[in-house]
Structure 1
Amino acid sequence: MIETAGETLAPKKAAGSKVGSVRAVGTRAVLAELSGTQDVLALQALLLEHPLPGQLDVLAAAETVLVTADSPVSARRIAAALLQLDLTAPVQRDGELVLIDTVYDGEDLAEVGELTGLGTEGVIAAHTGQIWTVAFAGFAPGFGYMVGENQALEVPRRSSPRTAVPAGSVALAGNYSAVYPRRSPGGWQLIGRTGAKMWDLDREQPALAAPGHRVQFRAVRDTVTLGPERPAQDRAPSVPAAEVASGLRVVSPGLQSLIQDLGRFGHSGLGVSGAGALDRASLRRANRLVGNAPSAAAVETVAGGVSVQAVGDQVLAVTGAPAELAIETLSRADSADDDFEPAWRTVPMATPFALLDGETLTIGAPESGFRSYLAVRGGVDAAPVLGSRSTDTMSGIGPAPLAAGQLLAAGGEAESGVVGHPELQPDFPGTGVTVLDVVPGPRADWFDADALPSFCGQDWEVKPQSNRVGMRLQGTPLQRSRQGELASEGTVAGALQVPPEGLPVLFLADHPITGGYPVIAVVVDSQLDRAAQVPIGGKIRFRWVPAGTNDHAAATTEHTTPEQEASN
């Protein structure tokens, strides 16, 4: 049966099944535990070939498969259905073969030869002499964990990770091989390099080697060089600045202003998180006020300070963290030379208003909350990436942060001929204590009996190092009851991961899709918007969802197999 403190959602299946147990990950996702990589591949293939009702996304990892659902009810049903799947005859996917030419001159090649006892030439022969299968993605878009046909190249990670690994580096760690798609920190053993572009958004399938693909490495002697990595901000906008006849000119971007919609989903298998607006309700409200579709792109800004000037007459609305909205206009002075002098007016929050050609809107510092949303009628017309215009600060996918002088074109996302009525907004968190409801995480059983009361019995302060990836919290550290490492597994927005120092990190929309630290709890989905509005220096107190509520029931309802039902 299901136990709420991070223990299994369901008992092991009958003999012959490869699904071990299923754990809740918040209220809209479940984690299936399996006996090894082959079972992970089998379940992943089965779910991709035959999706379960309500299934949104599937993310395989070393020993688990995370399934995200469209609702808490669907998550319950998926948890029960996973226990009934027969993995003894898995669905076979096409398994496209990808050839990767590799120069074997990596810095760790000689050391790997010593660790494996194969020598340098033996390592090259073993690496090129077998077919590798991409089991799952993680770490960065295009970084595929590949499993081989044997264990001859099993080696540990480096004791001291490198601060920068060049793009195209071919590497080994544990039983896996991989190619670094871009320059990044890393602790894998480097045995070679390739010029193959592992991640390219200009391709229909951005990942050269996606989960399910087979990979053959081929040794070459020619020098292989990757072209310079193209940063996100160098991508061409959907509408060139010279052609923007209607939209907004950025006068000042403030501390950080990003283009966001409701996010990109279904791409976790490629190593891409959902991203999107952190306060989804505020984004929808802003779009509704100007007559846009709910998912139209808008500007998300933190701590105020952003200023935009209208190019052509525009209809705008600002929602989220309440702040003064000041409009500067130019009026003719009563002087002989007909100079213009500035005049000011203010407009209310959560209300549609006109910003006439040449007028400038400035969003002041929030009175409470942290993030505000600026919508323009028609939506911000930015180039979509994987079906979304959202900026993902973790992977660099999507539009670059706004910059002074940038022109934002207004698009065609208006779906209503009229604007909305002014709306009431909820109360937003301040520097006091914000209470957030949580359900037990999938690894709450990694913590001792004192850690769980301590987690919910103290106020956690939001540290300045927080961002869209996660909120770093300061308080009395939590103690684990288990030592050692947790194999990387899928995670979700709202997860509270606890690194070895014992201070939780609350994952937000740009979080890494997999993590190797235990998740003690998960904020219920309905309160993620509120969590994202807690300002730096604000305090959070977590509260276990009371038994019997809908959110709690979605994560803890008992599941039984047909065999158990027959014996009851």
Structure 2
Amino acid sequence: MRVLRCGSDAVLIEADDAEQAQRLHAALRDNPPPGTGELVPAARTVLLRYDPAVTDPQRLRAAVGALPPQAAAPAAAAETVRIPVRYDGPDLAEVARLAGLTPQQVVERHTAARYRVAFCGFAPGFAYLTGLDPRLRVPRRAEPRTRVPAGAVAVADEYTGVYPRTSPGGWQLLGTTDLPLWDPAADPPTRLRPGTAVRFVAVGAEGNPGAGVAEGPGAAGEAPAAGRAGRAGRAGRAAEARGGLLVVRAGYGATVQDLGRPGLAALGVGRSGAADRGALRLANRLVGNPEDAAGIEMPLGGVELEFDRAATCALAGADCPAWLNGRPVAARTPLAVPAGARLRIGTPEHGLRGYLAVRGGLDVPAVLGSRATDTLAGLGPERLAPGRRLPVGTAATGWPAADHAPRRERPGPTVLRVVPGPREDWFTAAALRALCGEPYTVTAESDRVGMRLAGPVLERSRGGELPSEGMVPGALQVPPSGRPILFLADHPVTGGYPVIAVVHRDDLDAAAQARPGDTLRFRVADGR
């Protein structure tokens, strides 16, 4: 077992095999060392986020080595979730051919096995189930589908799983289920959590309403999902009826953001939230809001808003020019807006993302405890659109002591400090020298998930791919092309390409302000 650095506030604990990884996750969950934050179990690893003010990698290595043996066994599942499946998938015949079986034998083997959720990733609520019959361990499709429907039951390599929502995917599809496994309005939002036991049950074309119930405690007493969704929808409509801001122009992909939804990565839900967290915090402080109040993130500006009532707002982040009823106004300064006024935000000359905070915060409905829009997971409010109303809440707690925040100059190319690893040993020694010695250019293939970089190719010293493992913001993941991808706020929870280095957490805000065409340079962080 190895403990590998994964940036400035995480370690990746590499187990000897999948079973040990599951035991390790259970042990850390039940006996968390001081300073432990989020845990992300994966195929052969456990990602552990930590508070650098409390602990460090050396102390965590010692704590992992001292875990009590009795805590190392996975907790027994409190329930077995039975999933009714119509084995009508388009790849059933192909899986049978690859396995040397008949389609009926594939169904019999798939339903005979007992499964356990090893980890979640790829998408919210997508559970990787271990226990698949060895004969059914077939490779992924050569060409992934661009759209796999929700409820598709699939196999790939050593895992089986159910797509909880419509998404792209390359697994082999055996059938479909109507059992809802993911509901953001529920608590918890997924039935399939790490350690949960699962059985698949074959049903006819008409389905089986009696199947799908959990065997064991914890299944009763929940409100129907439709009822919860209905209440959330009514609350959202009531909030919008109060007025606040009317979107006249929506810009180039503006979204509502707060500081995200931490603590759910083990369920496949990333933190998301503002890409430049410092900028949103500053804008909120300037209007007397808590730092985590929801505001608007505006890539390249282009947003115009009409205020239904008098308000106080502030702009931060990229220096976007702005006009109130046609008169220019300053950024990083509280701005009194009269009722009926229009605020127009232009395109910044430098930087990418501007932030607008309104005193009281935006009161859009929360999803899983956050109002942030996660563009990868499809959680939170939709992107802004003309005609939409954004209600203003009552989150303000006081008035700030300052009436203006100075701008921090960043002359020349953006320099980002990196912590090598966790997989620098997958690359040649020349690769890390190239990463930290040559400039990279941000390409147009960049968004809130991450940015593709053009520059020196980073050569590997070994072939193949990693089993999926936890990812963090700032990870420099390197696909087979050798061109790195820098993960940002909406990055996937797990990934299978090796990470050569991770941008230091204190430099993530600067990374979020890099726009296509900008030059980035990387250097190894002092003290790593």
Structure 1 length-normalised TM = 0.85
1:97 and 2:80 matched: yes
Aligned to 1:563: none
Choose which of 469, 482, 492 in structure 2 pairs with 1:502.
Answer: 482
Distance 1:372 1:122 in 2: 57
Cα deviation, 1:194-253, whole Å, max 9, x if unaligned, reads 111121123222112121111111110134599xx9xx9xx8374426854452111111
1:358/1:132 Cα in 2 relative to 1: closer, same or farther (>3 Å)? Answer: same
Where does the alignment leave 5 or more consecutive residues of structure 2 unmatched?
210-225
1:278/1:158 Cα in 2 relative to 1: closer, same or farther (>3 Å)? Answer: same
Distance 2:410 2:371 in 1: 26
* Greater C-alpha Rg: 1
Partner-residue secondary structure (3-state), 2:82: strand
Aligned to 1:70: 51
Aligned to 1:471: 451
Choose which of 265, 269, 282 in structure 2 pairs with 1:272.
Answer: 269
Q: CA deviation at 1:420?
A: 4.2
Choose which of 342, 356, 370 in structure 1 pairs with 2:338.
Answer: 356
Choose which of 414, 418, 422 in structure 2 pairs with 1:438.
Answer: 418
Distance 1:73 1:499 in 2: 34
Code of the aligned partner of 2:377? S
Where does the alignment leave 5 or more consecutive residues of structure 1 unmatched?
1-19, 329-343, 553-568
Aligned to 1:327: 324
Aligned to 2:351: 369
1:498/1:200 Cα in 2 relative to 1: closer, same or farther (>3 Å)? Answer: same
1:262 and 2:259 matched: yes
Distance 1:85 1:70 in 2: 19
1:251 and 2:231 matched: no
Aligned to 1:21: 2
Q: CA deviation at 1:55?
A: 1.5
1:163 and 2:146 matched: yes
Partner-residue secondary structure (3-state), 1:142: coil
Partner-residue secondary structure (3-state), 1:465: strand
1:372/1:104 Cα in 2 relative to 1: closer, same or farther (>3 Å)? Answer: same
Q: CA deviation at 1:411?
A: 0.7
Aligned to 1:315: 312
Aligned to 2:427: 447
Aligned to 2:387: 405
Choose which of 29, 33, 39 in structure 2 pairs with 1:58.
Answer: 39
Distance 1:82 1:58 in 2: 13
Choose which of 373, 383, 392 in structure 1 pairs with 2:365.
Answer: 383
1:42 and 2:39 matched: no
Moved more, 23-32 or 105-114: 105-114
1:110/1:441 Cα in 2 relative to 1: closer, same or farther (>3 Å)? Answer: same
Q: CA deviation at 1:43?
A: 1.3
1:381/1:298 Cα in 2 relative to 1: closer, same or farther (>3 Å)? Answer: same
Aligned residues: 507
Q: CA deviation at 1:118?
A: 3.6
Q: CA deviation at 1:68?
A: 0.8
Aligned to 1:32: 13
Asked whether the equivalents of residues 27 and 75 of structure 1 are also in contact (C-alpha less than 8 Å), the reply is no
Distance 1:243 1:501 in 2: 46
Q: CA deviation at 1:159?
A: 2.5
Asked whether the equivalents of residues 323 and 343 of structure 2 are also in contact (C-alpha less than 8 Å), the reply is yes
1:144/1:320 Cα in 2 relative to 1: closer, same or farther (>3 Å)? Answer: same
1:423 and 2:420 matched: no
Aligned to 1:141: 124
1:436/1:363 Cα in 2 relative to 1: closer, same or farther (>3 Å)? Answer: same
Moved more, 71-80 or 477-486: 71-80
Moved more, 153-162 or 304-313: 153-162
1:510/1:75 Cα in 2 relative to 1: closer, same or farther (>3 Å)? Answer: farther
Distance 2:234 2:410 in 1: 34
1:87/1:121 Cα in 2 relative to 1: closer, same or farther (>3 Å)? Answer: farther
Q: CA deviation at 1:256?
A: 1.5
Partner-residue secondary structure (3-state), 2:522: strand
1:488 and 2:458 matched: no
Distance 1:423 1:378 in 2: 20
Aligned to 1:459: 439
Asked whether the equivalents of residues 132 and 158 of structure 2 are also in contact (C-alpha less than 8 Å), the reply is no
Aligned to 2:217: none
Distance 1:71 1:39 in 2: 26
1:80 and 2:62 matched: yes
Code of the aligned partner of 2:25? Q
Code of the aligned partner of 2:39? V
Partner-residue secondary structure (3-state), 1:464: strand
* Identity %, equivalent residues: 48
Q: CA deviation at 1:169?
A: 1.1
Q: CA deviation at 1:114?
A: 3.1
Code of the aligned partner of 1:392? D
Aligned to 1:298: 295
